[in-house]
Structure 1
Amino acid sequence: MLAAMDTLTHAISGALLARLLHARTPTSGAQVTASNASPPLWTQVLTGTVAAAFPDIDSFTQFGGDVLYLTQHRGYTHALALVPLWGWLVAWLIAVGLRGRASWRSLYLSACGGIALHIAGDWITPFGTLLGLPFTDTRYGLGVMFIIDLSFTGLLLAGCALAAIWPTRRWPAALGLLATCGWVVLAWVGQQEALAIGQQRAAALGWRDAQVVAMPRPASPFNWTVAVSDGSRYELADLNTRRREPLQAGPDAHFITRFSAPYLPAGQATWRQASRWGDPGAANAAEVAAIARAAWEHPSFAFYRWFAEVPHLVDAGVRADGRCATFGDLRFGFPGREEAPFRYEICLREDGSASRYKRDGASRTPI
């Protein structure tokens, strides 16, 4: 499931951080001892790489079903309080694998740094990270970076390439990491611009105390989907906060251009509607709203109420197995994507019991 920064990017960031943290063995007059000797650079880089990928081991929760995945992915392996424990585990396992060529203590800093960097990398994406466990199950997320950002990954790779050219220098690693931090700052600037546009839209609609959410989109730190909500309705627009003219993408255009073209200049963006409880203008609006609200509030749907940040009703009606409603999260849909993931349906029976399904197009899979 595409829900997090990809593991490869995490691993590259850990390798770069380990290169930055690596301390060369003292020479030129300093006595080298077992206590101050640093293990070879490659062992540190290996440790940083493995450690930065390690937290995604909880992706195996998807084999336990969607509910387990949504509630536990980016969970305890992403908890800040447990970084020292996971760092020790990774460092110890690698030290065992190296058969005495390095102690776990000498690898510990790179391991903890790689895991912490992974948590930071997930925190900047929209999915949310349970970094406060075991003290709170609140999801934290800056929400400025799309799930896969080729520029972000490219800056890390450039830092690794420079570090390979100048293997005895730390500055290439520092430069690569600083460049990626700068890219995140640029994305944050884009987010603030998108939020300001959303606030302007809310004011134009006369929606007081409206919720405004800016959701990052692919290909540019200035591509956003802005959602303005009064609690039951959404106004949505796909826009680029810096673009002055629409981007033309012909059939032979580069794939990045094709991904970016749907995001129009803010003044030309088209605002469309979505709803929490159905179309209020429909003939059966009251029935649909009643089904949707009852389904949303049912105890067995608590997992999705906790997870979804921008929930909307996909459809609702009466089926053979009860009064059913399907909900999605607007964070995970964008132009060019046929259907967003993380859509779930709940059907209520007359006796108060319920059935839950994962929706993939017209198919329904029990969960």
Structure 2
Amino acid sequence: MDTLTHALSGALVGRMLAGRKAFAGTLPGAGPQAVIGARPPVWQMVVAGTVAATFPDLDFVLGWISELTYLRGHRGVTHSLLLLPLWGLAIAWLLARFWCRGGRPGADWRSFYLVVCSAIFVHILGDLITQFGTMILAPFSDRRFGWGTSFIIDLPFTGILLAGLLASTLWRSSRVPAATALVLLAGWVGVQATGRSEAIDAARAYAAAQGIPVVRLDAAPRPASPFNWTAIVFDGERYHYAHINTRRSEALVATADDNFIRRFSAPYLPVAMAQWQVGERFGNGDGRALAEKVWQAEDFAFFRWFAMFPVLDHVERDASGQVCAAFRDLRFATPGRGREPFIYGLCGAAGDWRLFEREGEVRRWIDVR
């Protein structure tokens, strides 16, 4: 999910947990300003939830080191369920210190710990429902988990959060609006999960009808509707895929004058009208041997780890005489998108490869150090 949506989810959790009853007592050795179990004001709980839910995305600073460092580390240790209690402790302590600065009375860190941990947990859940992948077991495992029910930018999801917060400002003494919004969010993700199941069923039916051996069935979420999907069948050598809407009975026509939601949704055809395409994993021509060498190269290990549905993008010999091969990931093949991201490849020869990213028609060299 985008950072704004994460921040709103943390604020909603803060409002939901604000007002809980707590015991009161003086924190030994800390002076009268720090009170054990004192109930923080609602606004402090909302701010605490917002700050905590935004915290995991601070891993964007890895991009200052290098692009590959960011790709390897994004959604890593700051998104770890194993480290969540420690992050919660650090953030709760810092918030309590901030609000008690200058000798002003305030609650101690224990009053914020639950909301901070809950907000971080909600952030992790918000990333798990996407398909990018989240390393919830970091730093002990770099396996990326993702349930793949939701597109990374989901306007209805964000809208439910915003509506819950706005309703909470109207009924300030009640936590019902926040609780209701969280229930609605769970229901919305359930609808998306239904769409995903239908897309996988469509892929299974296509494979059976065409006699395609099935190694893997999957579906990638797409924008504008919980029923827009890219259905995927992998037969061990190639990916068969189609952009479909599982509830549409006729094609949706959109013009340049239509709203952006209709334009984004139009490429997804009814299952009966699906236009299935084939993406070769390594190609089937003269360049196959080179594509396989690039795929197995040590310098390409990060992409083997990162990609979910890798297909060969191109094999070529450039102006300098170097041979090059690049791969893309069908996870990011969104119809109507101006430029597909995360297309990486190698140029050169075994032992002397150079890593690059293809951006449109431009090849950008990447330092692997």
Q: Is the TM-score greater than 0.5?
A: yes
Q: Report the equivalent of 1:37.
A: 38
Aligned residues of 1:81 and 1:133 also touching (Cα < 8 A): yes
Q: Aligned residue for 2:341?
A: 341
CA distance in 1, matches of 2:36, 2:311: 59
Seen in structure 2, the aligned counterparts of structure 1 residues 305 and 321 have a Cα distance that, compared at 3 Å, is: farther
Contact 1:321/1:347 (8 A) holds in 2: no
- Among 12, 22, 32, the alignment partner of 1:16 is 12
Mapped partners of 2:15, 2:365: distance in 1: 47
Kindly state the Cα deviation for residue 142 of structure 1 after the two structures are TM-superposed. Answer: 0.2
The residue correspondences of 1:1-367 to structure 2 (distance < 5 A) are 5-24=1-20, 34-98=35-99, 99=101, 100=104, 101-278=106-283, 280=284, 285=285, 287-319=286-318, 320=320, 322-349=322-349, 352-367=351-366
TM-score by length of 1: 0.92
- Cα distance between partner residues in 2 of 1:227 and 1:158: 35
Give how far 1:358 is off.
1.5
In structure 1, C-alpha distance between the alignment counterparts of 2:24 and 2:127, rounded to whole Å: 42
Deviation at 1:248, TM superposition (A): 2.2
Residues 32 and 63 of structure 1: CA distance in aligned 2, closer, same or farther (over 3 Å): closer
Taking a change above 3 Å as real, the CA distance of residues 277 and 36 of structure 1, as seen in their structure-2 partners, is closer
Letter in 1 for 2:329: D
The runs of at least 4 consecutive aligned structure 1 residues that moved more than 3 Å come to 30-36
Structure 2 CA distance for partners of 1:302 and 1:31, relative to 1, 3 Å: closer
CA drift at 1:317: 2.1
Amino acid at match of 1:290: A
Which runs of 5 or more structure 1 residues have no equivalent in the other structure? Answer: none
C-alpha displacement of 1:349: 2.1
Number of aligned pairs? Answer: 353
Pick which of 46-55 and 239-248 moved more. Answer: 239-248
RMSD: 1.7
Instruction: Give the conservation status (yes or no) of the 8 Å contact 1:345–1:358.
Output: yes
TM-aligned CA deviation for residue 97 of structure 1: 2.0
Contact 2:36–2:110 (8 Å) recurs in 1: no
Q: Mark the CA change 1:31 to 1:325 in structure 2 (over 3 Å): closer, same or farther.
A: closer
CA shift for structure 1 position 24: 4.6
Deviations 1:291-334 (A, max 9, x none): 10000000110000000000011101223363211111111121
Unaligned runs of 5+ in 2: 27-34
For residue 209 of structure 1, report the CA deviation from its aligned partner.
Answer: 3.0
Distance in 1 between residues matched to 2:8 and 2:264, nearest whole Å: 25
